[in-house]
Amino acid sequence: MNDIGLIGLAVMGQNLALNIVRNGYSVSVYNRTAEKTKKFIEERVKGEKITPYYDVQNFVKSLSRPRKIILMVKAGNPVDEIIQELLPYLQEGDLLIDAGNSHYNDTDRRLEKLSHKGILYLGMGVSGGEYGALHGPSIMPGGSLKAYQMVEEMLLKISAKTEDGPCCSYIGDGSAGHFVKMVHNGIEYAIMQSIAEIYDIMRKILGMKSNEIGLIFHQWNEGKLSSFLVEITYKIMQHIDEQTQKPLVELILDKAEQKGTGKWTAQAAFDLGIPTPSLNLAVVARALSHFKKEREILSNLFGEKNRIAGDRSLISDLEKSLELSMFSSFSQGLWLIHEASIAHNYKINLLEILRIWKGGCIIRAKMLDFIKDILKENPQNINLLFSEKAMNFIKDKIKSVIRVTELSRRSGIPTFLLNSTLDYIFSLTESHLPANLIQAQRDFFGAHTFERTDEEGIFHVEWQPLE
Ligand code: NDP
């Protein structure tokens, strides 16, 4: 009898299986396409206690009870299909763990359905890509505490470790784990977009070569910006294509793909009414990048842009701009998680989220210590801005972001993320927004009513008639 079952042997499943077995557990594996299973066993399993199965029934039979089965398959219908296949062989008290990037609504639906059959279910976010899956990811399990406790010991063992402990913590009830993983990805999109914009300014305004840009990112990675995404940017900039001997990044088509978690984050933010402009615009920027042909035609129609030549003093402004956009992306994401926790009764501990994001995951960053300090000072400060520490940090950076965005505006370089960082902060620190006019317009054409600043109540007036 094996301790754990794992279904889905693409990059994540293979590496996670190896990670689990190296931590002392025996694992049964199954993949829909048998060829992939065979290849995995032949090429990557070197005597570890991993047993391949080529049908679901024998796979399930091979597991000690209560059975614990990790699903690492493509999100969406495949998860339902595999659950359906498993169900005839499962018994009350068995546990299914969906470790893919499932939509949180799907997780709630599956939890509900399986609870009627006495099957326990965890919706578990896993971040860290294939390297993380093998060497220790950040793990975000949600569902019932009882279900979590059945696998807690193993999850703590296989997760990444930092000085603050294993990067795994029970996130909360229901779909809490998948919601938090989704927002993690939304923040990831935003940080990636801000890094890309800064790279664009370095090459277009400062005329820097990829190699030089890499060195700057390397330097930044030694300081306050130390993070996984800054580190890989440095490594990407240094990578030379064997065939052409050019930096590979310069040969990659500028169309960014997406699998959906960034979009879902924006949708959830709209549904909950939480402003996450940077997270939303990171999705917009990827969508826009897809219109390559149109961009080429329009760039000819528009004509040459007058690039302002910047000097190298801009580099420290770029560094501060990345710091502030990273900070504001975390601010927006945490606010969204907090609101979702109330709306869905997840009971999420934000400090724990920050702790487990410190290692293993794609958005791990030194800045999380600073953010944790701000939140520790006042746990009610859910978007981080309500603190002197945060305001001092913002004030120290904001002039740099203004300088950078002004220069990029004048040079015709789009900076969705950097602009949204400014607008997020400027809006939240503005006691008078022009929403009074919007309310008046709504009342004018739709009798939608408005509140007044000088009187309590709900009002509607007969505005001047249309001519
Ligand atoms: P993919 O998302 O590419 O999914 C491929 C796996 O799903 C294969 O094992 C495939 O089996 C299986 N599958 C697809 N359709 C079905 C089906 N109808 N029934 C049964 N199995 C099916 O693999 P990844 O390893 O990239 O990701 C796995 C999960 O982890 C996904 O939810 C993903 O979003 C998430 N994730 C991925 C990360 C990454 O860096 N790649 C990082 C974090 C999470 P077959 O071989 O038969 O086609």
**Cβ–ligand 1 contact at 126 (below 6 Å):** yes
Domain stop point among 144, 174, 204: 174
Q: Name the residue of 16, 32, 74 to mutate for ligand 1: max ligand atoms within 8 A of Cβ.
A: 74
Residue 456: domain span: 434-467
**Cβ–ligand 1 contact at 73 (below 6 Å):** yes
What 3-state DSSP class applies to 119? Answer: coil
Tell me the pairing of strands 165-166 and 161-162. antiparallel
Instruction: Looking at the structure, tell me whether residues 230 and 371 fall in a common domain.
Output: yes
Instruction: Looking at the structure, tell me whether residues 362 and 220 fall in a common domain.
Output: yes
Asked if residues 460 and 449 have their Cβ atoms less than 8 Å apart, the reply is: yes
Instruction: Looking at the structure, tell me whether residues 21 and 137 fall in a common domain.
Output: yes
pLDDT in tens, 235-263: 999 999 999 999 999 999 999 999 999 99
Whole-number Å distance, alpha carbon 240 to ligand 1 midpoint, is 30
Residue 191's closest CA among 333, 80, 389? Answer: 333
Whole-number Å distance, alpha carbon 83 to ligand 1 midpoint, is 14
Instruction: Looking at the structure, tell me whether residues 422 and 450 fall in a common domain.
Output: no
Atom index in ligand 1 nearest the CA of residue 77 equals 18
Q: Tell whether the model's pLDDT for residue 211 goes beyond 90.
A: yes
> Catalytic residue positions?
181, 188
C-alpha span between 121 and 151 (Å, rounded): 11
pTM over cut 0.95: yes
Q: What average pLDDT score do residues 205-232 get?
A: 98
The 8 Å CB, 24+ separation contacts for 441-446 are none
Tell me, what's the ipTM?
Answer: 0.99
Q: What average pLDDT score do residues 99-110 get?
A: 98
**Cβ–ligand 1 contact at 66 (below 6 Å):** no
What total of structural domains would you count in the chain? 3
Burial per residue of 266-285, b for 16 or more beta-carbon CB atoms within 10 angstroms, e otherwise: bebbeebebbbbbbbbbbbb
**Cβ–ligand 1 contact at 81 (below 6 Å):** yes
pLDDT in tens, 159-198: 999 999 999 999 999 999 999 999 999 999 999 999 999 9
| Rama region for 103: left / alpha / beta (φ>0; ψ in -120 to 50; rest) | beta
| Residue 73 annotated as lining a ligand binding site | yes
C-alpha span between 357 and 300 (Å, rounded): 44
Residue 196's closest CA among 236, 243, 160, 142? Answer: 236
Q: What average pLDDT score do residues 339-350 get?
A: 98
Q: Tell whether the model's pLDDT for residue 96 goes beyond 90.
A: yes
Instruction: Looking at the structure, tell me whether residues 91 and 200 fall in a common domain.
Output: no
- Whose C-alpha lies nearest to ligand 1, atom 48? 33
Domain stop point among 135, 153, 174: 174
C-alpha span between 76 and 78 (Å, rounded): 6
Whole-number Å distance, alpha carbon 220 to ligand 1 midpoint, is 34
Residue 448's closest CA among 462, 460, 465? Answer: 460
Whole-number Å distance, alpha carbon 409 to ligand 1 midpoint, is 41
C-alpha span between 332 and 279 (Å, rounded): 8
| Residue 448 annotated as lining a ligand binding site | yes
Q: How many CA atoms lie within 13 A of 375 on its CB side?
A: 21
CATH number at residue 123: 3.40.50.720
Q: What is the pLDDT of residue 310?
A: 87
Q: Tell whether the model's pLDDT for residue 329 goes beyond 90.
A: yes
**Cβ–ligand 1 contact at 128 (below 6 Å):** no
Instruction: Looking at the structure, tell me whether residues 30 and 168 fall in a common domain.
Output: yes
The pLDDT-based confidence of 315 (bands split at 50, 70, 90) is very high
What 3-state DSSP class applies to 455? Answer: coil
Whole-number Cα distances in Å, 227 to 218, 249, 370, 393: 10, 20, 13, 18
Instruction: Looking at the structure, tell me whether residues 114 and 253 fall in a common domain.
Output: no
Q: What is the pLDDT of residue 393?
A: 98
C-alpha span between 43 and 23 (Å, rounded): 20
**Cβ–ligand 1 contact at 149 (below 6 Å):** no
The pLDDT-based confidence of 343 (bands split at 50, 70, 90) is very high
Q: Per this entry, what is the length of the chain?
A: 467
The pLDDT-based confidence of 467 (bands split at 50, 70, 90) is confident
Atom index in ligand 1 nearest the CA of residue 127 equals 43
**Cβ–ligand 1 contact at 33 (below 6 Å):** yes
pLDDT in tens, 381-392: 999 999 999 999
**Cβ–ligand 1 contact at 441 (below 6 Å):** no
- In DSSP notation, 36-103 reads HHHHHHHHH-SS-SEEEESSHHHHHHTBPSSPEEEE-S-SSHHHHHHHHHHGGG--TT-EEEE-S---
Instruction: Looking at the structure, tell me whether residues 50 and 120 fall in a common domain.
Output: yes
Atom index in ligand 1 nearest the CA of residue 125 equals 44
Q: What is the pLDDT of residue 394?
A: 98
Domain stop point among 117, 143, 174: 174
Tell me the pairing of strands 120-127 and 138-143. antiparallel
The pLDDT-based confidence of 379 (bands split at 50, 70, 90) is very high
| Residue 93 annotated as lining a ligand binding site | no
Q: What average pLDDT score do residues 294-314 get?
A: 95
- Whose C-alpha lies nearest to ligand 1, atom 16? 78
Mean predicted lDDT score pLDDT of the chain: 98
Q: What average pLDDT score do residues 38-66 get?
A: 97
What 3-state DSSP class applies to 168? Answer: strand
Instruction: Looking at the structure, tell me whether residues 223 and 265 fall in a common domain.
Output: yes
Q: Name the residue of 11, 73, 96 to mutate for ligand 1: max ligand atoms within 8 A of Cβ.
A: 73
| Residue 176 annotated as lining a ligand binding site | no
Rg (CA), the chain: 25
Question: Which secondary-structure segment (H or E) carries 317?
Answer: helix 314-343
Instruction: Looking at the structure, tell me whether residues 116 and 253 fall in a common domain.
Output: no
| Residue 259 annotated as lining a ligand binding site | yes
Instruction: Looking at the structure, tell me whether residues 130 and 21 fall in a common domain.
Output: yes
| Residue 12 annotated as lining a ligand binding site | yes
Instruction: Looking at the structure, tell me whether residues 338 and 389 fall in a common domain.
Output: yes
CATH number at residue 451: 1.20.5.320
What 3-state DSSP class applies to 7? Answer: strand
